[in-house]
Structure 1
Amino acid sequence: MDVSRGHARTPRRLLPLTAALCAAALVGGCSAEGDAPVRERSTQAAVPLAANDLQDDYRAVIKNVLPSVVQIDAANSLGSGVVYDAAGHIVTNAHVVGQEKNLKVTAATGGQPVTARLVFSYPEQDLAVIRLASVPQGLKPARFGDSAAVDMGQIVLAMGSPLGLSGSVTQGIVSATGRTVSEGRTGGGTGATIGNMVQTSAAINPGNSGGALVNLNSEVIGIPTLAATDPEMGGGSAAGIGFAIPASMVRTVADQIVKDGKVTDSGRAALNITGRTVLDDDYEPAGVAVVEAPANGAAGRAGLKPGDVITRLGDTDITTITSLSEALASLRPGDKVTTTYVRGTATRKAEVTLGEM
């Protein structure tokens, strides 16, 4: 599967994604024959009520968050952005701004375009911060959520300017977390490998890049960046597969740019592996299988190889890609950590000097 960035005029393709295993179960129930008419009436009454409640939730989120979303026009691309603070800083994707230093920004709620200048672009994580020359009335900073609380099945809304349709909203769920995606360099791509991304079924189309992926608490949990394409369909979109940079990474990068005008430290340690979550015989997450471990990477230098299953990092049990990312988030590049892994039937340990993402 290939993936492409969600902005207009410059379609792109990316490298294959790492797959994760999953399992599902259907649960049914039954009742006594005499109870059936009562259950039926209760269900019929509850369905429209629940739908109305959800619809009200959607409307509230859109009302709360849309004033924090903007459309960004560059010379050769069009994308979206999120208001980061009251000083007029906007966070977006590096591939949206490209090589541009001056851009035009329009609020998703309407109004005249405002000029903005590039503060700093960080292609390594496909993030950038621009600053408005003046802050239009009605714009407000977004509220960013806790990446550790993001989980499969959560309802989300994607807000941005797909195909130039400013202020558009699509809905879906969090399909997975902990995805690692590599961008290509053709067509203006940054070539970044981005870890711990949020996969969503909310439609991500050209122009959505840099916008907001929002939960029902009106919190931005990610920046939509990539949409999957299917090579067998001639590069056409694979519906319902999009990816967003998690809020934790966005804050780490944007805070440094706002404060220092550049990224001084990514703050993200790495084992420098490609991995996937594996399940045990009971279909429970049981570790992270090493798919690739380059010899010059942190894990490779410590002797880990493809096929090894990482089960512990320091004092933290590792069961999923997400738990591994969370464990690494508390460490720094250059730290030494004991890594426990299984090779075949033997459990081994290695001291790994962590690299940088």
Structure 2
Amino acid sequence: MDARRFRIRRSAAALTAFLCGLGLLLAACSSSSTGTREKEGSTTRAAAPKAVRAVDDLQDGYLEVIKDVLPSVVQIRGRRDLGSGVVYDDEGHIVTNAHVVGGEKTFRVTTANSEDELTADLVSSYPQQDLAVIKLDSPPKGLRAARFGDSSKVEVGQIVLAMGSPLGLSSSVTQGIVSATGRTVTEDGRDGGGTGATIANMVQTSAAINPGNSGGALVNLDSEVIGVPTLAAVDPSVGEAAPGIGFAIPASTVRTIAGQIIEHGRVVDSGRAALGIVGRTVVNDEYRAAGVAVVSVQEGGAADRAGLRRGDIITRLGDTDITTITSLAEALAGEKPGDETTVTYTRNGSRKTVDVTLGEQ
């Protein structure tokens, strides 16, 4: 506000109006009789305990959730990287992010209620979805598995808690809400701390997600893990994390991938659509991204069956314009294996369109 335009009117009427606007609880701002003021004051006093009780109930709810879930959230240390994980079952399986485990095979794990370091080995990593499972060599007595919720019931506005080890501070908790659902997000590559994966149906949250939170738990007030915090948005104008914008892999995806890794030792059914190509972004005469050039075609894959070949430049998938390899990955993230779509491409300067039945990544 411009201080030069702000003037305080010292009249009694203006001062009274100002106090009324503040909603002071000490006295009602009214010219009514004393009896009316007393009635309004008693109503305010009666309402105050209800508000206090509501706050106390919410705080008690937070404390109960933390008591229920935090023992299931662990800190994971490799030789170089540090992150978080969630106990998946009482056999000692722990789910985390693929970028937390990186290329390592053995880890040191600290649980929330102990300073003792446990050892764990990698079961399998699935970088395409940025998920991995490790297993404790000797699960301690009383190890508590987390309860994973139903992703279809996650709604914008729900209060959530993010639990993990940001910056190495184990058993930390932050609070926020679900800001959006169904986000498709592409991570940075290894230099940016991620796997470069494009992940669909992410849960967006305002709960703080800092380095070290990755692989932890995003929890609702029913003590259910609704997602695995994975990354924070980066403001491209400053190259730093954008406050209050973080993303978590939904619980349904976590259960699907972790369940397959535990049962089969690897992912056997990703549910991720694929064209079956290796591609790279190409630019036009103005040095602007203009499509994805096909570098190689997987034999027998979707692109091969549709007749695409090396040198073709893909510019559209279905109704989505394709300008970069990231935009192609994001378009495919919204599809399923077996879906039928069209691919628009150029070959030797001629524009063509072909029907494609998508394969599986």
Instruction: Give the TM-score normalised by structure 2.
Output: 0.68
Q: Equivalents in 2 of 1:144, 1:81: separation in Å?
A: 13
Question: What secondary structure sits across from 1:207 in the alignment?
Answer: coil
Q: Name 1:137's counterpart in structure 2.
A: 141
Q: Name 1:114's counterpart in structure 2.
A: 118
Deviation at 1:202, TM superposition (A): 0.6
Q: Equivalents in 2 of 1:63, 1:132: separation in Å?
A: 22
Structure 1 residues 305 and 216: CA distance shift in structure 2, 3 A: closer
Deviation at 1:39, TM superposition (A): 5.0
Q: Is this contact kept in 2: 1:302–1:351, CA < 8 A?
A: no
What amino acid is aligned across from residue 304 of structure 1 in structure 2?
D
Q: Name 1:264's counterpart in structure 2.
A: 268
What amino acid is aligned across from residue 185 of structure 1 in structure 2?
G
Matched, 1:73 2:80: no
Matched, 1:53 2:57: yes
Q: Name 2:350's counterpart in structure 1.
A: none
Question: What secondary structure sits across from 2:237 in the alignment?
Answer: helix
Q: Name 2:223's counterpart in structure 1.
A: 218
Q: 105-114 or 219-228, which moves further after superposition?
A: 105-114
Matched, 1:228 2:233: yes
Structure 1 residues 53 and 295: CA distance shift in structure 2, 3 A: farther
Q: Is this contact kept in 1: 2:148–2:226, CA < 8 A?
A: yes
Q: Name 2:154's counterpart in structure 1.
A: 150
What amino acid is aligned across from residue 255 of structure 2 in structure 1?
R
Taking the TM superposition and a 5 Å limit, the aligned residue runs for 1:166-181 are: 166-181=170-185
CA shift digits 1:88-145 (9 cap, x unpaired): 0000000000010001001022231111000000000000000000112332111000
Q: Equivalents in 1 of 2:129, 2:355: separation in Å?
A: 27
Q: Is this contact kept in 2: 1:228–1:242, CA < 8 A?
A: yes
Q: Name 2:166's counterpart in structure 1.
A: 162
Q: Equivalents in 1 of 2:359, 2:187: separation in Å?
A: 20
Structure 1 residues 45 and 295: CA distance shift in structure 2, 3 A: farther
Matched, 1:88 2:103: no
CA shift digits 1:223-276 (9 cap, x unpaired): 00001222333x23221111100000001100000000000111245899xxxx
Q: Name 1:10's counterpart in structure 2.
A: none
Q: Equivalents in 1 of 2:146, 2:75: separation in Å?
A: 15
Q: Equivalents in 1 of 2:275, 2:65: separation in Å?
A: 37
Q: Equivalents in 1 of 2:218, 2:129: separation in Å?
A: 17
Q: Name 1:123's counterpart in structure 2.
A: 127
Q: Equivalents in 2 of 1:115, 1:57: separation in Å?
A: 33
* Cα RMSD for the two superposed structures: 3.2
Deviation at 1:83, TM superposition (A): 0.4
Taking the TM superposition and a 5 Å limit, the aligned residue runs for 1:278-289 are: none
Taking the TM superposition and a 5 Å limit, the aligned residue runs for 1:282-321 are: 303-306=318-321
Deviation at 1:87, TM superposition (A): 0.8
Deviation at 1:43, TM superposition (A): 3.4
Q: Is this contact kept in 2: 1:293–1:304, CA < 8 A?
A: no
What amino acid is aligned across from residue 190 of structure 1 in structure 2?
T
Which ranges of structure 1 fall in alignment gaps of 5 or more residues?
1-32, 273-291, 308-323, 339-349
Identity, % of aligned pairs? 64
How many equivalent pairs are there? 275
Which ranges of structure 2 fall in alignment gaps of 5 or more residues?
1-31, 277-289, 295-301, 304-313, 323-332, 343-353
Question: What secondary structure sits across from 1:232 in the alignment?
Answer: coil
Q: Equivalents in 2 of 1:300, 1:132: separation in Å?
A: 47
Question: What secondary structure sits across from 1:44 in the alignment?
Answer: helix
Q: Equivalents in 2 of 1:43, 1:114: separation in Å?
A: 51
Q: Equivalents in 1 of 2:273, 2:98: separation in Å?
A: 21
CA shift digits 1:15-51 (9 cap, x unpaired): xxxxxxxxxxxxxxxxxx9685465334322221111
Q: Is this contact kept in 2: 1:257–1:263, CA < 8 A?
A: yes
Q: Equivalents in 2 of 1:227, 1:149: separation in Å?
A: 23
What amino acid is aligned across from residue 226 of structure 1 in structure 2?
L
Q: 211-220 or 296-305, which moves further after superposition?
A: 296-305
What amino acid is aligned across from residue 82 of structure 2 in structure 1?
L
Q: Equivalents in 1 of 2:205, 2:339: separation in Å?
A: 33
Q: Equivalents in 2 of 1:306, 1:167: separation in Å?
A: 44
Q: Is this contact kept in 2: 1:108–1:160, CA < 8 A?
A: no
Q: Name 1:101's counterpart in structure 2.
A: 105
Q: Is this contact kept in 2: 1:87–1:135, CA < 8 A?
A: yes
Instruction: Give the TM-score normalised by structure 1.
Output: 0.69
Taking the TM superposition and a 5 Å limit, the aligned residue runs for 1:314-333 are: 333=337
Structure 1 residues 157 and 270: CA distance shift in structure 2, 3 A: farther
Deviation at 1:301, TM superposition (A): 7.5
